[in-house]
Amino acid sequence: MKQRKNMSDIKLGCHVGMAGKDMFLASAREAASYGANVFMLYTGAPQNTRRKEIFELNIDAGWEYAHEHGINEIVVHAPYIINLANTVKPETYELAVEFLEKEIVRTAAMKSRILVLHPGSHVNAGEQAGIAQIVKGLNTVLNQNDDDVFIALETMAGKGSEIGRSFEELKAIYDGVDRKERLRVCFDTCHVNDAGYDIVNHYDEVFAEFDRVIGLEQIAVFHVNDSLNPLGAHKDRHANIGKGTIGYDTLHRLVHDETFANVPKILETPWLCEESSAKKTIPPYKEEIEWLLK
């Protein structure tokens, strides 16, 4: 895979917040302060269903500021509380379907075409049951929604009973969904490392395998994270760029890979602590974005 020569058009950014009265405008300001030209956000807290009304999100002002600062694309991440794979608690599954429907509408209202979704956890019911339940939920949602939004299933590290620890599990979801043209993949570098895919020593081979199973064109967004854990640990603990077992060289290679020139690349690396403090109060994104663009 070829490396890019022109770095100005690399789509690189990070996860930012959305809060206060400014809401989306605050998100755009934060992203611009890091030198990002794309960013990702939640439409509300990822751990609960409390959401402001769409008219309160300050979308138009946010986009005006974003465009002025060279940001023309955003990614939305669905909240963690959505678990389409749950067959054990019907109320959890029903909440997941209902809330995913709302998140698609909110994503479209925010003028994003990508909604990243953790496939879900089967809660010890088994992979087949979990995948079947995810397929059922996605069909319920997508068959009655015509918004121009892709559901990007995230590659997972495989901790606990997570679905999506292998490319084949994601492909099984694709195979069962009626409107599979509405599906895409979010490729998380930390997660694939922790799932056992060696992108450090076998970069080309891993992406060739993904291409064979699903297709490289299905990757709609990358989460660019180093990993605190060794290959195949199934832990999912992000590290700052160059501070983990994946390392700077591999992540730099991905960011500059011409194959993925048009794919947004989002940093989700941990915030840093001030000296002699245990509180993580310093965002690393400005420095990491600059370093990765070198």
Annotated binding site: 77, 118, 154, 188, 191, 223, 236, 238, 268
CA 57 to chain centre: 21
Angstrom distance (rounded) from CA 205 to CA 192: 13
* Angle value at C-alpha 103, between 131 and 178, nearest 5 degrees: 40
The distance in angstroms from the start CA to the end CA of the chain is 18
Residue 21 one-letter amino acid: K
Residue 2 tokens, joined: 């070829």
Binding residues for Zn(2+): 77, 118, 154, 188, 191, 223, 236, 238, 268
Query: Which candidate, 104, 139, 133, 107, places its Cα nearest to that of 120?
Result: 133
Helix or strand holding residue 212 (H, E):
helix 203-213
